[in-house]
Amino acid sequence: MRIVSFLMLLGFLCLAGSTQAQADAISTYFGQYVDDERFTVVYISPKMFQMIDKLSIDFDEESSEAMKDVVKDLRGLRILVADEGAQGLYQEAIQKINTTEYELLMTVRNKSEDDMQFLIKDEGDIVNELLMIIGSEDNFVLMSFVGNIDLEKVAKLSESFEEQD
């Protein structure tokens, strides 16, 4: 048990220490898709989040405060989107993600047949990574937020989006 916690601590330190190489789910499990043309890949660096924090970027007013709150603790964001083979990719994704590392937070299935899974990777009280996997008929989205994520703030943020619909 001690060895496991030592290894976890080491892993956490590596994650905290490295600026370039981020050990997020997309890099780890879906690295091969990064160069695949079928996918749209977005990467927002820690530097960008630092800058967003320093700037007062104009989001929609309602979600602005909530957004700022969540964003200031983020270190990085990776997004992977595919239009083709969405269902298959979704299945592949859920199977690949190691459930010892990532804890399933929530699953959502709604009437228009979107499947969604939210997973987190945490160290004690701190959530280091929030992973969203979405599979619908023609859309597969994988989003990985890395940082010090406070789930309460995320909840507030999604509430503010709901209010806008």
Partner 1 sequence: MKITLIALGMLMSILCVQAQTPSVERFFEKYNGYEDSFEISLQGWMLKGASLFAEDDVSKQLMRKISKLRVLIMDEGSLVSKQEVGRLLKNVRGQQFEDLMEIRDEGNNINFLIREDNNRITNVLMLLKGDEEFMLISLEGLLKFEDLNRLEINVTGGDHFKKVPKNRRDVPRA
Interface residues with partner 1 (CB under 8 A)? 34, 37, 39-45, 47-48, 51, 54-57, 59-60, 63, 67, 77, 79, 108, 110, 114, 116, 132, 134, 141, 143, 158, 161, 165
Q: Contact 87/137 with Cβ under 8 angstroms?
A: yes
Closer of 40 and 95 to partner 1 (Cβ): 40
Strand 126-135 with 115-123, pairing: antiparallel
Q: CA 31, CA 40: separation in Å to the nearest integer?
A: 13
Tokens for 65?
Answer: 């405060």
Closer of 6 and 138 to partner 1 (Cβ): 138
In the complex, least distance from residue 91 CB atom to partner 1, rounded to whole angstroms? 18
Residue 88 CB neighbour total at 10 angstroms: 12
- Select from 114, 115, 122 the least CA-distant residue to 145: 122
Q: CA 56, CA 52: separation in Å to the nearest integer?
A: 7
Closer of 64 and 123 to partner 1 (Cβ): 64
Tokens 């979107």, residue located: 114
In the complex, least distance from residue 54 CB atom to partner 1, rounded to whole angstroms? 4
Closer of 12 and 44 to partner 1 (Cβ): 44
Q: CA 18, CA 11: separation in Å to the nearest integer?
A: 11
Angle of the 151-164 helix axis to the 61-71 helix axis, nearest 10: 160
In the complex, least distance from residue 57 CB atom to partner 1, rounded to whole angstroms? 6
Closer of 12 and 59 to partner 1 (Cβ): 59
In the complex, least distance from residue 108 CB atom to partner 1, rounded to whole angstroms? 5
